Amino acid sequence: MKRAELSKSKKKSTGFQHSKKLGQNFLTDHGVVEDIAIGSLADEDTLVIEIGPGQGVLTDELMNYAGALIAVELDDRLIPYLRTRFALNDRVEIVHGDILEIDLEELVRSGKEKFNVSKVQVVGNLPYYITTPIIMKLLESGISFENITIMMQKEVADRLIAEPGTKNTGAITYGVQYRCTVDKICDADRNCFDPAPKVDSAVLRLNFRKEPPVTPVSEKFFFQCIKAGFMMRRKTLLNSLAALNSLDASYHFGKDKIQQALKECGIDSKRRAESLTMEEFSELSDAIWRQR
Ligand code: SAM
């Protein structure tokens, strides 16, 4: 029997009313839970920030490896249950809050001090609709996470793991791979959850790089070029990059300037954003920057 079929046959109702709004698809497949905990590489010197612990199935497994764990859960109905479940473990702290609103820097600083650990990482089986904002918040936080291990919709995982310059990419591919290398931990089909979501999932580990793979003159402008390039991904670069002017009132990049920059980089103006490698995007953003 396949792993997902096995877990489906073992599913039993807990009486809990799952909130669709909060993306409450709880993991029931213990193999996947184990894969995430092991794949996160958490060890005794690691504080794990767990996003959305639900009923604590992953929390429990993570504590076989991690030195300490702070779980942030938004649903107030789950807080008493979680606090009771982990009452005997003084290395687990349950925080009631919204991960998108919380002061992460303070959470990490106080957690590291309280639990006397040197490393911190993030693990979560997130509601799918907050995957991108969470990843962006974590990447832009400036906090030195070891890694981020998260479950996401399979199509999003495919996009994050795609090689820049190939078809399946989006602006987020470049954003993530500029800061991290990406490893796939496992797939999790819909039957690994209760209730089963409408889509299949995968777990990725984003490992923070010590140095970015390219060094554009202006990091901010590099990301603006990527954003503009993908705003209308079917358009050619010559047309899509005109969207740069909508990202900052001080920009006035006419087609002539974009054309000149493309020429300097030896990039055909009919190419589309998705065909550019990270290096090409970096060179092109520098060349457009010089046209200011
Ligand atoms: N980790 C559990 C598991 O694997 O069974 C639950 C995963 S469930 C997909 C997502 C969890 O995130 C839910 O418990 C939900 O209430 C919580 N959640 C949703 N939005 C959140 C937010 N903005 N901040 C913190 N937790 C959130």
At 143, list the tokens.
Answer: 């906090």
Taking CA atoms only, the protein residue closest to ligand 1 atom 23 is: 98
Query: How far is residue 290's CA from residue 125's CA, in Å, rounded to a whole number?
Result: 43
Buried b (16+ CB within 10 A) or exposed e, 41-62: bbeeebbbbbbbbbbbbbbbbb
Taking CA atoms only, the protein residue closest to ligand 1 atom 3 is: 26
Q: Which amino acid is at 189?
A: D
**Domain 3-208: which CATH number of 3.40.50.300, 1.10.10.10, 3.40.50.150, 3.40.50.720:** 3.40.50.150
Taking CA atoms only, the protein residue closest to ligand 1 atom 21 is: 74
Q: Where are the domains of the chain?
A: 3-208, 219-289
Q: Going residue by residue through the chain (292 aa), what tens digit of pLDDT does each one get?
A: 444 444 443 444 567 999 999 999 999 999 999 999 999 999 999 999 999 999 999 999 999 999 999 999 999 999 999 999 999 999 999 999 999 999 999 999 999 999 999 999 999 999 999 999 999 999 999 999 999 999 999 999 999 999 999 989 999 999 999 999 999 999 999 999 999 999 999 999 999 999 999 999 999 999 999 999 999 888 999 999 999 999 999 999 999 999 999 999 999 999 999 999 999 999 999 999 999 8
Task: Give the fold, CATH level 3, of 219-289.
Answer: Helicase, Ruva Protein; domain 3 (1.10.8)
239 assigned ligand-binding residue? no
Residues near 220 by Cβ (< 8 Å), separated by ≥ 6? none
Residues near 185 by Cβ (< 8 Å), separated by ≥ 6? 35, 36, 39, 149, 202, 203, 204, 205
Query: How far is residue 69's CA from residue 49's CA, in Å, rounded to a whole number?
Result: 6
Q: Which of 7, 21, 51 has most ligand 1 atoms within 8 Å of CB, for mutation? A: 51
Taking CA atoms only, the protein residue closest to ligand 1 atom 20 is: 22
CA of 44 to the centre of ligand 1 (A): 24
Q: Which amino acid is at 207?
A: N
Q: Which of 14, 24, 30 has most ligand 1 atoms within 8 Å of CB, for mutation? A: 24
Query: How far is residue 40's CA from residue 33's CA, in Å, rounded to a whole number?
Result: 11
